[in-house]
Structure 1
Amino acid sequence: MSNNSIELKIENKIAFITLNRPEVFNSFNREMALRLQSVLDDCENNPEVRAMVLTGNGKAFCAGQDLKEVTSPELNPGFKKILEEHYNPIITRIRKIKKPIIGAINGVAAGAGANIALACDIVVAHEKVSFIQAFSLIGLVPDSAGTFFLPRLIGFQKAQALAMLGDKISAEEAEKMGMIYKMIPLESFDEEVNKLALKLANMPTKALGLIKELFNSSMTNTLEQQLALESKLQIEAAQTEDYAEGVSAFIEKRKPEFKGK
C-alpha cells in the first residue's frame, strides 16, 4: 500500500496530517481510509506529538466517499465494510486519542468529510469554506457520526433539516450556529492554525486528554455519573508533573513550561 494519500509532517511537537488526493477533492477510498487510521495510531503513540492538525491539500478538505470506488464492480468494498472498516474506526480514533486534534478545514467539507471535520476537538475554517451534509442528495443517510455530533452542536431541529435538505453552510454560518469554533480570514488561515496548534502543543497534554474524555462521557452520562467522573479525573490530573509545574509557575509568577507529563 502506498503512503501518498496521507501526508504526515511532525514539527514543534505538532503532527500535521494532510489528506492528499486533491484530484478528487480528497475523497476517501479504502487505501486512504486505512492509511489515515495508521497515521492517527502512530501520532497517538509518539510521545513527541502533543497536538495534531488534520487538513487537506488543494481546494477541498474532503468530499467524503470516492463514488468511483463504490460504483466499480472491481473496487467496491460495499457499504458495510466502508462504514465498519473505514469511517467508524476513523471517528473512534479521533475521539479516543488523548491529544488535541484541530480540524483545519481548508475547503469544502461534504458528506463523511464534513462529519470527520466535526468530530475533531477544535474546528476552524477559512471564510471560503462550506459544509454540506450531502448524503440525502444521492439517496443516502448521514454516517461518520453526523447524526451524533451535529444535533449536539447545533440542535435537533437545525441538524435534521440540514441532513434532509443538504443545504450548503458557509463557514460564517457554521460559526454563528456553533457548528465550528471559529472562522478565520483566508489570508491568515495557515498562520492562525499554526499558532493555535503550537499553543495546544505546549499546554499540559495529559490534562487536555482528560478534558476530552470528560466531554466524550458527557454525551451519555447522567449528572451524577459526570460529577463522579470529574472527581476521578481531577484527582488523576492533580498527580501529573504538569499540574505541579503549573502551580509552581503561578506562585512564582512566571510562565509555566509544561512537558506533557
Structure 2
Amino acid sequence: MEWKTVKLDIMETGVAILTLNRPETMNSVNDQLCSDVQAACKEAADNELIRVLIITGAGKGWSSGGDITKLASMKDPISAKETYDGSGALVTAIYELKKPVIAALNGVVAGASVAACMACDLIIASDQARMGFTFMQIAFCPDSGASHFLFQKVGYHKALELLWYGKIINAEEAEKLGLINKVVPHEECLPEAIRWAERLALQPLMAVGLDKKLMREAAKNDYYQQAELEALYQVLAWSSEDFREGCTAFAEKRKPVFKNR
C-alpha cells in the first residue's frame, strides 16, 4: 500500500513497519498524515500477514506534534474542533488496533504525538530520543488522550509537573518514569524493536490480545471485577486450538506452533 505521508513495509516474519514520513517537518501531524495513519492501521488490522506493528519516524524525529501551520490557521471553535478530531482519530486508530503495536522512538516526540506514542503497547527508545510535553508553550492543554495516558503512567503530581512546566525529558528519564520500556543506542532503536516484534509474532496472538484487554481494564477495575474478567478470558483461552497446541508441545518437550485459533 502507498500513501503520501506514511510507508508500510511488511516483513516475512509477520512484522510490519509503519513509518511516519514527513521528515522535512519532523513528521508533524497534518490532515493528510491523520488520514494516512488511520488507513495504514486499518490495513494492519485487516491484513492476516501482519501480526505485530512497529511505528517509527523518518529522519531525526518520531513526530513533533501538530503542524504549526495548521494550528495557526485555526480561526474559530469549529476549525479548532475539526483539527482536534483529526489528531484524536489518529491516536484512536493506534489505540484500538487489536494487534500488538510497538513504538520505535527514534528521536523527538512532542505535543499530540506524545499521545500517539503512548497509545502503543510497548516503546523502545533511542538514547537520542526526547519526549516533549510542550502544550503549555503555545497555551494548549493536552489533547488526543495525552492526559489519560500520562496520568495512568506517572500519576497526578508528576503529570502536572510535566505539563505545567512544559518539560522535555530525555530517554533515560522517560524510562525511569515508566513512560518507555527500554533505551538502546540510537542505531539499535529500530533493530531492537524488530527483535521484540518478531518474538511477539511467534506468540499465540489470541492470548496476547486478551492480555492487552486485561491490562487496560485493570486500570479501572477493583480486585473482584478484574478477577471476574480474568475468569471470562481464561475460559476463552482454554477453548482455543493454541491452548491445546501449547499443552501438547509442553508435554512433547518441543516449541509450540501457534495458529491464532
Do the structures match in fold with TM over 0.5?
yes
CA distance in structure 2 between the partners assigned to 1:124 and 1:221 by the alignment: 28
CA distance in structure 2 between the partners assigned to 1:228 and 1:208 by the alignment: 18
Deviation per residue, 1:185-214 (Å, 9 max, x gap): 123222211111111111111111111111
CA distance in structure 1 between the partners assigned to 2:151 and 2:84 by the alignment: 20
CA distance in structure 1 between the partners assigned to 2:189 and 2:29 by the alignment: 24
Please give the TM-score of this superposition, normalised by the length of structure 2.
0.94
Partner of 2:201: 201
Kindly indicate whether residue 172 of structure 2 is the aligned counterpart of residue 169 of structure 1. Answer: no
The share of aligned pairs that are identical, in percent, is 36
The alpha-carbon deviation at position 41 of structure 1 amounts to 1.0
Aligned-partner residue type, residue 26 of structure 1: N
CA contact (8 A) 1:103 1:122 kept: yes
Kindly indicate whether residue 102 of structure 2 is the aligned counterpart of residue 102 of structure 1. Answer: yes
Partner of 2:249: 249
CA distance in structure 1 between the partners assigned to 2:143 and 2:72 by the alignment: 18
CA contact (8 A) 1:98 1:208 kept: no
The alpha-carbon deviation at position 94 of structure 1 amounts to 2.2
The alpha-carbon deviation at position 77 of structure 1 amounts to 7.6
RMSD of equivalent CA atoms: 1.7
Kindly indicate whether residue 238 of structure 2 is the aligned counterpart of residue 238 of structure 1. Answer: yes
Map 1:1-261 to 2 at 5 A. Answer: 3-11=3-11, 12-72=13-73, 78-84=79-85, 86-261=86-261
CA distance in structure 1 between the partners assigned to 2:215 and 2:110 by the alignment: 25
The alpha-carbon deviation at position 73 of structure 1 amounts to 6.9
CA contact (8 A) 1:70 1:77 kept: no
CA distance in structure 2 between the partners assigned to 1:163 and 1:123 by the alignment: 21
CA distance in structure 2 between the partners assigned to 1:131 and 1:148 by the alignment: 16
- Matched residue of 1:257: which SS? coil
Please give the TM-score of this superposition, normalised by the length of structure 1.
0.94
CA contact (8 A) 2:4 2:32 kept: no
CA contact (8 A) 1:95 1:216 kept: no
Q: Which runs of 5+ in 2 are unaligned?
A: none
